[in-house]
Amino acid sequence: MTNPLIRPEIAALSAYHVPPSKGMVKLDAMENPYELPLTLRQELARVLAEVPINRYPDAGAAELKAVLRAAMKIPPASEGMEILLGNGSDEIIQIIALAVAKPGAVMLGLEPSFVMYRVAATYAGMRYVDVALNADFTLDLAATLAAIRTHRPAVTFIAYPNNPTGTLFDAAAVREIIAAAAPGLVVVDEAYFAFADASFLPELAQHRNLVVMRTVSKLGLAGIRLGFVCGSSYWIDEFDKLRMPYNINALTQTVATHLLRNPCALYDQAEALTLARGQLAAELARLPGVAVFPSAANFILFRVANATTVFDGLKQRGILVKNLSKAHALLNDCIRVTVSTPEENQQFLSALKACL
Ligand SMILES: Cc1ncc(COP(=O)(O)O)c(C=O)c1O
């Protein structure tokens, strides 16, 4: 029964669905499959035992921000660059949408891309305008610039590399978009930074309308829910007003501060996954009837003759991937698989061969 008090655009949404995965090889959510080394987990247990969970956490998360700055080479506060932390970067996307959602304001997205941009626009009551990528998932620069001229978006989201395609857009084209969108904000979403040898962080000072967003989720810390956006205080100070008090809990602050002080173990795992991505892509490309798209992230998008049959076949064999066939016209018959350990990658490949 419809609830007349609920905004119609919210009533039309479905709650975010996470498919059951118990007992399956889970390759659908771009998680890092590796556990932390035992010594590191023991260390964490010791530091977590000391956390005063009877108290609210540090509201400004000052220590964590300092550690993040060093670990991620974020330009310093002395250059006017600030950081906003979120309960995952999902929360930051929502904060940004709420901040710019004046009546009639537009959010621009390049589709197919990360679904939460459109969802956050809906939450905030913004109009979402999407520009289709080319069929090979590269940027359609002319169409994007034309949409910017027509709609003057208050905010444009660019996932760099893009999810679910894995594409690392041409940096020069992204710069053109940033310049054309000004004074509108451009959020370069670097969720997959650990697997891509490219970043817009060093360019923050050159573009007043640019902010860079990252998450530690894909680096191996999806469970603690921590994302951040950095950029000029001109933007971050405004976003900070929409952040709920104490949004980063004490356990998350402690784990992240401890691990990012010496993030070698996490970066080593990311490096292993980047290597495995090349091997998995090459093996996939050798399979008849499989078309593989280039990826700069920790997942691979590929096309088969009948993605839904293949998805179901993989599921029956205990392998969970993401069937994107219905997500966007350009993704027809496309499946996204997370790069995992060599063992899980082989399990996936064997199951896929059996399905094809
Ligand atoms: C491009 C992109 N941005 C942001 C996120 C959200 O990450 P978080 O776990 O920090 O909310 C994802 C998650 O898949 C993503 O693919």
Residue 37: what pLDDT?
95
Same domain, 283 and 198: no
Supply the CATH number for residue 125's domain. Answer: 3.40.640.10
User: Residues 264, 270, 276, 282: is their CA dihedral positive or negative?
Assistant: negative
Q: Which atom of ligand 1 sits closest to the CA of residue 114?
A: 1
As a three-state string, the secondary structure of 238-264 is HHHCCCCCCCCCHHHHHHHHHHHHCCH
Helices within the chain (DSSP H only): 8-11, 38-49, 62-72, 89-100, 115-124, 141-151, 171-181, 233-240, 250-261, 264-286, 307-316, 342-355
Domain count, the chain: 2
CA of 297 to the centre of ligand 1 (A): 12
Going by DSSP bridges, is the β-strand pair 322-323/334-338 parallel, antiparallel, or unpaired? antiparallel
CA of 177 to the centre of ligand 1 (A): 22
- Per residue in 197-254, pLDDT tens? 999 999 999 999 999 999 999 999 999 999 999 999 999 999 999 999 999 999 999 9
CA of 227 to the centre of ligand 1 (A): 8
DSSP per-residue codes, 113-151: --HHHHHHHHHHTPEEEEEEPPTTS---HHHHHHHHHHH
Within-domain flag for 3:
no
Please state the separation of Cα 17 from the chain's center in Å. Answer: 17
Position 1 confidence tier, pLDDT thresholds 50, 70, 90: confident
The residue segments making up the domain with residue 14 are 8-37+265-355
Supply the CATH number for residue 270's domain. Answer: 3.90.1150.10
What is the maximal distance between C-alpha atoms in the chain? Answer: 59
- Per residue in 18-36, pLDDT tens? 999 999 999 999 999 999 9
Helices 115-124 + 89-100 axis angle, to 10? 40
| Full-model pTM | 0.98
Q: What is the DSSP letter of 17?
A: P
Q: Which atom of ligand 1 sits closest to the CA of residue 159?
A: 1
- Per residue in 122-165, pLDDT tens? 999 999 999 999 999 999 999 999 999 999 999 999 999 999 99
CA of 215 to the centre of ligand 1 (A): 7
Within-domain flag for 46:
no
- Per residue in 282-327, pLDDT tens? 999 999 999 999 999 999 999 999 999 999 999 999 999 999 999 9
Does ligand 1 have an atom closer than 6 angstroms to the CB of 90?
A: yes
Residue 280: what pLDDT?
98
Residue 2: what pLDDT?
87
Does ligand 1 have an atom closer than 6 angstroms to the CB of 163?
A: yes
Residue 36: what pLDDT?
95
Same domain, 93 and 198: yes
- Per residue in 59-110, pLDDT tens? 999 999 999 999 999 998 899 999 999 999 999 999 999 999 999 999 999 9
